[in-house]
Chain A
C-alpha cells in the first residue's frame, strides 16, 4: 500500500488561452476570467487520476477539499481522505503551500500536484527535497523538470511507482521566469531550487527514454574526474546547480547551490559571486576554467539560471576552458536535441555554437551540438 498526496492548483494555466502567459497574482486571474478563461487545471488532473483506477486498491489517497483535489478524486471514482480547509473559488498560492506542508507531515510516499512553474515553486517552498513529488503539467509555463510529459503520463508513472517498477528518485530543477517581464516578451528564467521526483526518465518533461542508469553514480564519477584533474593555480568558476555542487562536495568545500563560487588550489576564493566580482577575479588569474551543467529540461548551459556567467565572463575565460558536466541520464533525456546558449551577446553565442563535449563519467564524455 502506498500513500499518495494530491494537490491541485485550480487556477493554474488559466491565463494561457487568453494570451496572458501566466496566472500568477489575483489581478491577472480576474483579468483572465473577464476575458472568458475557464478553469482547466482540474480537468487535466482528472485524466491523471483516472489512470490510477487500476492501482486504486494499492493506494491511500490524501487530498484537500473541493477544487484542490477532493472533487477530482470523486470524479475519477477514487476514494480519498480529505484534510484542511479552503475558501472555495478563491484559492491562492498560500493554499498550495499549506496543503503541501500538511501532506508532508503525513509521511506520504509521494505527492502529486497539478500546476505550472509557480506551483512547483510553492511546493518547493513547502517540502523542499524531503518528500518525493511529481507534477501534472496544467500551468502555462512548464520550464521546471519536475513535470510528467502530460497528465496521462503522470498517471502511468504513478501507477508504475505504486507497482514498485520505479524506485530511484532524483533531484530535478524548479525553474520559473519573471512573469511581469515575460508579458513584455522578455524571457528570463531562473533556477529557484530542486524538488525530488521519481527517476523514471521516460515520462518526465523532456526526458524521453533511458532506464537502468544510476543518476548518482554518473554524477559521482564525473565529480571524481573533475576533482582529480584540477590544475594548480587555475581559477575555477563553478556554476549553479546540483551537479556542480556535487563537485564542490567532492572537494569538501562549501558551495552555493543557486550561485557561482570561485575555487583555486582546492580552496574557495569567493562564494555566490556577481558577474562584476567574477570579472574582478579574472583580472587576477592567468588562467581560468568555467564548470557548468545543463540546466532544466530545455538543455541550456548559459543564460538560464546562471546569468552571472555573462558574455564577458565567457569571452575572457575562453571557449576551450569551459567544462560542461551532466549526468548520463540527463544527456540521454536530451537525445536528439541540441544544447542552448543565450548569453545576450550574439558574438559570444556564436563563439559557443558548434560542438561541445559534455563530461558524463570518469573521463567519459559525449559530443553534443550547441546552438543559440
Chain B
C-alpha cells in the first residue's frame, strides 16, 4: 500500500452560528419587492382579494429581517459546519450508497426549459419531461426485468408502502384480503420492510438469520401459510450478505398464494448482474437517490421507482406515463388502481437527474458500477480485517460480501469500554463524516456499516481504513481520548443524552424553542 494520506490536522469551522431569527433587526430588508402596478391593482376587484375572516392573519408575519449578505454568510457558515457527501469521504453512510452526484445533472434541472414548466400544463406542452419519464421507466424495467413501473412514490419507504397497498388490492381482487393478513420479512432487511406493511395494517412476522447470516429458510417455510399476503425482503441484506436462497424463498411464498416484494435499496451490488424477474419476484423498487446517482433529499424530494409484473400493473398508482407511437400522455384509466400516491407525477427533477445519470453510464456502465462496488468493498474488508479490535457480522462464514459490510467494535467494547459512538466521535477529528452504525435496535453489537461504492477511489478506501486503524489504536492506548472526542469538529459530543428525552427542553422549530424556554 502506498503512503496513505490521513488528515491529521483537520480542523472544521465552528461558528457557533445563531439561529437566523437571532440575527434579525426590525425594519431591515434584504429584498424590497416592487409594488403592484396601478393597472393591475385597478383590474382586480375587491371581492377577488377578499379572504374569509378565519383565514386572515391577526398579527404580522414573524420572519427574520436580515440583509442579503447576512443570509449568504449565515448559510455558508452552516454549510461549513456540516460534513456532507460532497465535502468528505462519505463511504461512512453504509446502506445509503453515497455516490457522486454529477454536477452536470444540476445544470440540466436548472435549465429554464425544465425548471419553468408546471405540472398543470397541458400534456402537449410537456412532451419532453413525459418522454424522460417514459424512457427512464424503460431503464428500470430493463434493469429489473419487471414489466411496469410507477415513478410517483416520493422515496424508498414510500415505494415499499405502495407495494403493501398493491398487495392488498391484489388479494382483495381475489376475495382473500381478510384471510391474508400477514407479511413476512427478515431481521436484516431494511426496517421499512416491516414498518410499511405494519402501517398498512398487516401483521409482521420477522425471520432471524441462520448461522451463516442468511434468513433462515426453514423458518420462512414454517411461517408461510394461507394467511401469508407476501414476503418483503432486501437482498443483499444490510449486513452485505447475498441470500443465495432467494429463488427458493420465492417459490415457497408463491406455493402458499403469497406475493414476493424485492426491496432493492441495495441494488448497487447487482446492477446488470442479477434481476428481480429471474429470481421470481412479483414486485421491486429502486431508491434512485442511491442507485441512480441522484442526491439524497434529507427527508426531501426523492423517488422510489416501484415496479411490478404485468399481472399486477392494473393496481399501480395513476396516472402512468404512456406513449401511443407519436404522443406521450397520462393514463388515468385504471379502475383497479390503488389511486394516486403523490401529487401530479412525482419528483420530476429527480427523475430527470436519474435518467441523465443512466444515459451517461450506459448499460455496460451500470454493470461496471456493481462490479466496482463489490470490488471496493472486498478490498476494504481485506484492510479492515487486519485492524485489531474490528470484527464484522458473521465473520468467517466463507461467504463473499457484496457492496457493504456491517462491522463491529465489540472487541473494543469488551477490552476497553470503547464502542461505536466513541469511534464515531474520534474519527470525526480526522475529517471523516459520522458513520452509519446500524438501524435500531442494534442486533450486531457496536456496529459500523460502511459502503465504499463505485465513486470512491483506492486512496479513499485506504484513508478510511487508516483512520479506523489509528483510532482503534488510540482506543487501546488512551481510551479517555475517545471518551471526550471530538475535538476538531463543529459537532459536539452529546453529554447528557437524557436531555433528548425531556420534551420540555428539546424543540424542532424556533417557535417551539421560544415557547419552551419562555423567550
Contact = CB atoms under 8 A, between A and B. Distances in A.
Contact of A164 (B187, B194, B497): B497
A202 B441 contact: no
Given A210-B443, A366-B208, A367-B222, A167 B498 contact: yes
26 contacts: A51-B417, A54-B480, A164-B496, A164-B497, A167-B498, A209-B441, A209-B443, A209-B444, A211-B441, A212-B440, A328-B441, A332-B443, A336-B208, A355-B222, A355-B223, A357-B205, A364-B194, A364-B198, A364-B203, A365-B204, A366-B206, A366-B207, A367-B207, A367-B223, A368-B219, A369-B218
Contacts of A212: 440-442
Given A364-B194, A367-B206, A164 B445 contact: no
Given A363-B204, A364-B206, A367-B207, A211 B219 contact: no
A367 B441 contact: no
Contact of B216 (A208, A213, A369): A369
Interface in A313-345: 328-329, 332, 335-336
B222 A211 contact: no
A165 interface: yes
Given A212-B440, A329-B441, A336-B208, 4 more contacts: A165-B497, A210-B441, A357-B205, A368-B219
B206 A363 contact: no
Interface of A: 51, 54, 152-153, 156, 159, 164-165, 167, 202, 208-213, 328-329, 332, 335-336, 354-355, 357, 360, 363-369
Contacts of A202: 413, 445-446
B324 interface: no
B124 interface: no
A273 B202 CA distance: 36
A261 B222 CA distance: 30
Interface in B474-500: 480, 495-498
Contacts of B187: 366
Nearest to B210: A369
Contacts of A336: 208, 211
A213 B440 contact: yes
Contacts of A369: 216, 218-219
Interface in B204-244: 204-208, 211, 216, 218-220, 222-223
Nearest to A153: B414
Contacts of B222: 354-355, 367
B131 to A, nearest CB: 44
Contacts of B440: 211-213
B237 to A, nearest CB: 15
Interface in B436-454: 440-446
A365 B185 CA distance: 10
B208 A210 contact: no
Nearest to A202: B445
Interface string B339-380: 000000000000000000000000000000000000000000
Given A159-B417, A167-B501, A335-B443, A357 B204 contact: no
Contacts, number: 83
B442 A211 contact: yes
Given A156-B417, A335-B208, A355 B218 contact: yes
Interface of B: 187, 194, 198, 202-208, 211, 216, 218-220, 222-223, 413-414, 417, 440-446, 480, 495-498, 501
Nearest to A334: B208
Contacts of A210: 441-443
A328 B216 CA distance: 19
Contacts of A165: 497
B205 A365 contact: yes
Contacts of A335: 208, 443
A51 B479 CA distance: 13
Please list the 6 inter-chain residue pairs (A to B) with the smallest Cβ-Cβ separation, ordered nearest first.
A355-B222, A363-B203, A209-B445, A210-B441, A367-B219, A213-B441
A321 to B, nearest CB: 16
Nearest to A163: B495
Nearest to B444: A209
Nearest to B194: A364
Contacts of A211: 440-442
Contacts of A328: 441
Contact of B223 (A152, A164, A329, A357): A357
Nearest to A157: B417
A208 B205 contact: no
A164 B206 contact: no
B497 A355 contact: no
A360 B203 CA distance: 11
A209 B437 CA distance: 13
A152 B416 CA distance: 10
A151 to B, nearest CB: 13
A367 B205 contact: yes
A217 B220 CA distance: 27
A309 B480 CA distance: 51
Nearest to B215: A367
A56 to B, nearest CB: 14
Contacts of A213: 440-441
A355 B417 contact: no
Nearest to B483: A54
A55 B205 CA distance: 43
Contacts of A355: 218-219, 222-223
Contacts of B198: 363-364
A156 B446 CA distance: 15
B441 A164 contact: no
A212 B420 CA distance: 14
Nearest to A329: B441
Contacts of A209: 441-445
Contacts of B207: 366-367
Contacts of A332: 441, 443
A165 B219 CA distance: 36
Nearest to B496: A164
A159 B211 CA distance: 33
Given A210-B442, A212-B440, A368 B208 contact: yes
A359 to B, nearest CB: 10
Nearest to A212: B440
A344 B186 CA distance: 33
B53 to A, nearest CB: 44
Given A164-B497, A165-B497, A167-B501, A365 B441 contact: no
B382 to A, nearest CB: 26
A150 to B, nearest CB: 9
A164 B495 CA distance: 8
Contacts of B498: 164, 167
Contact of B203 (A54, A153, A365, A367): A365
Contacts of B445: 202, 208-209
A66 B445 CA distance: 38
A354 to B, nearest CB: 7
A367 B184 CA distance: 10
Contacts of A51: 417
Contacts of A366: 187, 205-208
Nearest to B408: A209
Interface centre among B204, B208, B495 (most CB of A within 10 A): B208
Interface centre among B206, B223, B444 (most CB of A within 10 A): B206
B480 to A, nearest CB: 7
A369 B211 CA distance: 12
Contacts of B223: 355, 357, 367
Nearest to B184: A367
Nearest to B223: A367
A213 B220 CA distance: 25
A328 B443 CA distance: 11
A364 B204 contact: yes
A211 B443 CA distance: 9
Interface centre among B194, B205, B442, B444 (most CB of A within 10 A): B442
Interface centre among A212, A329, A366 (most CB of B within 10 A): A366
B299 to A, nearest CB: 20
A247 to B, nearest CB: 18
Nearest to A358: B206
A137 to B, nearest CB: 15
